[in-house]
Structure 1
């Protein structure tokens, strides 16, 4: 085969490699750069790797039909036939490589696109070094197997100016760069691991230094299987009425997210630092406590969240209470949702615990709750017996728990219940967490896209039931629930059947348990629509005909790696 054909093949393959590589890096980023988690994701999405795997094996047929022998000799009888067969195989591989490239070309809109962080850039450098090595091996493999052609090893100038016969091995090296990209991407991550660890440690130590230079700063950690982001926003609203506060933004609840917030945003004038702490594995809260060193803590909930990575509900409980252990050692207070059964069982181990909730026995208790589609009212009783009536714009009884926890902590800092009434009225819905979006006309959305746990889904259905309207649910269901995922989605379907007039499921495969739950509840299945994508689901909702106003609950929105 001549050099020109190999160059064309190499250009097409390299372009496809870049496109596929960027897509794989995107998925790796969404999986938190965690190799085990990314490996599980690859196993779940094995179908996307079937074509590269088949082509990787198929390309070795080029060795069978090589026009040259190992000694570089050319058989005048068989070589012309083998050369024609090789040409057909190469053209077919070229077409398939082009298809892979087009299937992964940039331009597709993602909810959360690939962010070219410094870490991603370093991994891209490593990745392209690996690709370059394969291309170099491919280029010079012609010399390895065909030494002596053109009167000895050909020079680079000779190769570029003559129709040099290269054999088939160069095509296999180039093709392998593309077909092995799904392996080379996580391999780049593993190769860079020592460097990344060193970089992270430098930033973390710098964040610790900054915190050490703020001796009067009071730090509060917030964790929980769900409700922690909402609690963070609510507490910030209340504390900000009297103190200068800083909170971790959005869902910045990882070690690097917390580190970035401290290094970028913390000022000497801040009096309170509200730190959200997320975890998907055992001891990750302990790691975050080692960075933020909170004086106090709040645990909003413990439940079956991220069971795939935690392994058991016991591991979830122990990890969340790593915050309580840290605070206990520092002599601070841990505020606990006393209505959560798993938390209540663990609470007696912490004499520094302050319980809040709707049930009897909590130090801070909310009673006389009045819920409507315009907001919620409730009465708070403090440990000293003082009571105060509060009203807020937030929808649903479940929101009372988190706001009550924020009231309890703020009251513990010295702000009176009376002074907290106005800040509570000002509390707005956290974006994508039961956020009411009135688009005008005949349709209103309840955006609960960032909720993906059984408790949150039940609460969202309860809020939907407040409205006298055509109640429509749009959902892809819940994920990362381990062995209980099918069971919990089945129950979600049963509950949705009781609360909704029309149900739209997003994703034909993953929503099967929800569909079965709806059917088991005796629901009219003519009112169930299964869409392939969120856009198709929303188009269906817009076209759906009803005499009433449509209230559309968007329950959970899976990230792009789903």
Structure 2
């Protein structure tokens, strides 16, 4: 069956599904395979659960004529997404970066949604499976689609761009994330900048943060850009005011008081403002949408427990974001500060060095109540004021002795550490 014929079947369905536990009536089920699962084994379950068609790549999985046999389910899903993107032909805004992708995506979404019909990547479905699923959820009646792109190796962003074919692109930043796959910070820069390469090769539009030298360097002399930052010469001028604890900015003589912490969120907010301005969203609606946006899903959430203020930033961590969070905590005007930090993953050969860099910064800038959790932090050289625990369960006895009145607590670590569990100890 050709991809065009499969597309006809897709259009007769209500949605796309890859998990039989989340089936919707009359969906099209793609039997994806992984190291520890094979979706072909669940075809009967999918059909019994309401799937209208099942795309499979195992001839033995054929149950009836509702099964569509292809050479490879994943490549079919990706080709279908590209075909769909071409058919609906709506403007696509793509973004990537080392930190802040999801927060930035959500900020852009809330700003544009005040004026237009917009749909964005759900959660962080931003890889070679998530991007096709996002595109297939878009409809031609949308004014804009927002696609988040993640990567941990070079050529991944290039691959995703060739599927999504974005009209607009932005990179939040370049940092020390996924060093194991990219090999080095320069590898990260090269990999993320593949989005700019696509933009330049196809004469599309890039949004450039002029406060970030690396962005200017990577976009080079390309002229189809919209610039933003504090300099009045930018296409969109946004000034950073303060971040104690929440980021405040000035845009068109209006003060915008966000509910996001840390100066590192300035660029994320500023690009959402720049995109709103470019697409002619009224200033009042830009201001209101940003001020009403609240972070969630363990991303820089502010949580109150009695007189204690908790900064829950446990969705993910890398050396760049960890250091930024610590610098932000240091600047906060609060007397009692507690740190619960978990290991940073996917650093490869740089893991030992990067964890020690974090420890050295802590030693110089914080006095006590410092708790490090995980095998990587366990290997670091520290003074006696820092307490290290190999696994999460080991911290409970020490936690029970803490004085948490009028304290500010930072909880940060990679997703696999699941440090949000600390909330249950309060």
1:529 aligns with 2:387: yes
3-state SS of 1:349 partner: coil
Q: Is the 8 A contact 1:254 1:279 kept in 2?
A: yes
Q: Is the 8 A contact 2:121 2:147 kept in 1?
A: yes
1:378 aligns with 2:249: yes
Give 1:293 deviation, angstroms: 0.8
Distance 2:247 2:312 in 1: 18
Q: Is the 8 A contact 1:464 1:499 kept in 2?
A: no
Pair 485,353 (structure 1): closer, same or farther in 2 beyond 3 Å: farther
Residue of structure 1 equivalent to 2:262: 396
3-state SS of 2:387 partner: strand
Residue of structure 2 equivalent to 1:259: 132
Give 1:461 deviation, angstroms: 1.6
Distance 2:221 2:190 in 1: 12
Give 1:339 deviation, angstroms: 2.7
1:476 aligns with 2:334: no
Give 1:297 deviation, angstroms: 0.3
1:290 aligns with 2:290: no
3-state SS of 1:278 partner: coil
Give 1:222 deviation, angstroms: 0.3
1:545 aligns with 2:416: no
Give 1:336 deviation, angstroms: 2.4
Give 1:249 deviation, angstroms: 1.0
Give 1:235 deviation, angstroms: 0.6
3-state SS of 1:259 partner: helix
Q: Give CA deviations for 1:101-138 in whole Å, capped at 9, x if unaligned.
A: xxxxxxxxxxxxxxx974249856999xxxxxxxxxxx
Residue of structure 2 equivalent to 1:43: none
Q: Is the 8 A contact 1:445 1:552 kept in 2?
A: yes
User: Structure 1 stretches (4+) deviating beyond 6 angstroms?
Assistant: none
Q: Is the 8 A contact 2:240 2:266 kept in 1?
A: no
Pair 547,246 (structure 1): closer, same or farther in 2 beyond 3 Å: closer
3-state SS of 2:93 partner: strand
Runs of 5+ unmatched residues, structure 1: 1-115, 128-194, 381-385, 520-524
Q: Give CA deviations for 1:269-318 in whole Å, capped at 9, x if unaligned.
A: 22111100111111101110111110000111112221211123333222
1:354 aligns with 2:226: yes
Q: Is the 8 A contact 2:344 2:414 kept in 1?
A: no
Distance 1:120 1:421 in 2: 44
Residue of structure 2 equivalent to 1:238: 111
Distance 2:351 2:211 in 1: 24
Give 1:231 deviation, angstroms: 0.7
Q: Is the 8 A contact 2:308 2:404 kept in 1?
A: no
Residue of structure 2 equivalent to 1:119: 33
Pair 365,501 (structure 1): closer, same or farther in 2 beyond 3 Å: farther
Pair 363,488 (structure 1): closer, same or farther in 2 beyond 3 Å: farther
Pair 308,122 (structure 1): closer, same or farther in 2 beyond 3 Å: closer
Distance 1:546 1:198 in 2: 57
Residue of structure 1 equivalent to 2:44: none
Q: 2:312 aligns with which of 431, 447, 451?
A: 447
Q: Is the 8 A contact 1:230 1:430 kept in 2?
A: no
TM-score norm. by structure 2 comes to 0.76
Runs of 5+ unmatched residues, structure 2: 1-29, 42-68, 419-426
Distance 1:436 1:294 in 2: 34
Q: Give CA deviations for 1:11-68 in whole Å, capped at 9, x if unaligned.
A: xxxxxxxxxxxxxxxxxxxxxxxxxxxxxxxxxxxxxxxxxxxxxxxxxxxxxxxxxx
3-state SS of 1:422 partner: helix
Distance 2:366 2:417 in 1: 28
3-state SS of 2:261 partner: coil
Counting helix residues as a fraction of each chain, which structure ranks higher? Answer: 1
Q: 2:277 aligns with which of 399, 406, 411?
A: 411
Matches within 5 A, 1:266-281: 266-281=138-153
Say what the alpha-carbon RMSD is for the aligned residues. Answer: 2.9
Q: 2:369 aligns with which of 483, 496, 502?
A: 502
Distance 1:339 1:512 in 2: 36
Give 1:257 deviation, angstroms: 0.5
Q: Is the 8 A contact 1:476 1:557 kept in 2?
A: yes
1:210 aligns with 2:124: no
Q: Is the 8 A contact 2:32 2:40 kept in 1?
A: no
Q: 1:345 aligns with which of 217, 233, 253?
A: 217
Residue of structure 2 equivalent to 1:491: 357
Q: Is the 8 A contact 2:70 2:76 kept in 1?
A: no
Q: Is the 8 A contact 1:296 1:333 kept in 2?
A: yes
3-state SS of 1:328 partner: helix
Q: 2:323 aligns with which of 442, 458, 481?
A: 458
Distance 1:255 1:238 in 2: 27
Pair 403,499 (structure 1): closer, same or farther in 2 beyond 3 Å: farther
Q: Which moved more, 1:247-256 or 1:326-335?
A: 326-335
3-state SS of 2:72 partner: helix
Residue of structure 2 equivalent to 1:229: 102
Q: Is the 8 A contact 2:378 2:390 kept in 1?
A: no
Give 1:253 deviation, angstroms: 0.6
3-state SS of 1:471 partner: strand
Distance 1:494 1:361 in 2: 39
How many residues in Structure 1 have an aligned counterpart in Structure 2? 360
Residue of structure 2 equivalent to 1:315: 187
3-state SS of 2:254 partner: strand
Give 1:240 deviation, angstroms: 0.7
Residue of structure 2 equivalent to 1:150: none
Counting strand residues as a fraction of each chain, which structure ranks higher? Answer: 2
TM-score norm. by structure 1 comes to 0.59
Q: Give CA deviations for 1:229-286 in whole Å, capped at 9, x if unaligned.
A: 11101111111111111111111111211112232x3233221111001111111011
